[in-house]
Amino acid sequence: MDYVICGRNQPCFAKQGDINMMVRTGGRNRTEKEYRDLFKSGFDTARAITSVGELSLIEALPRS
C-alpha cells in the first residue's frame, strides 16, 4: 500500500506528500504508470486499487 499520485489538475493528498518527501529526503511518490513501469521487469500485471482512504493497493503478479 502506498500513495499514488493522481492525474493533472486533480487534487489529491499524494501530491502534498510528494512535495514533503522531495524537500525532506529527496524521495517522491509515483503515478500508477510509474508503478507499472517499475514492475515490468519481473511482473505481468500492475494496477493501483484505490481504497477508502488516501492509500492505494498496488497489485502485481509474478511473471510465470
Mean pLDDT for the stretch of residues 53-60: 86
Mean pLDDT for the stretch of residues 2-12: 83
Q: Does position 32 have pLDDT exceeding 80, yes or no?
A: yes
| Residue ranges making up the domain that contains 37 | 4-62
pLDDT of residue 9: 82
pLDDT of residue 63: 87
CA separation, residue 60 to residues 12, 19, 23, 34 (Å): 23, 26, 29, 13
Higher pLDDT, 53 or 20: 20
Mean pLDDT for the stretch of residues 28-33: 87
CA atoms within 13 A on the CB side of 24: 8
pLDDT of residue 20: 85
- Based on the structure, what is the number of domains in the chain? 1
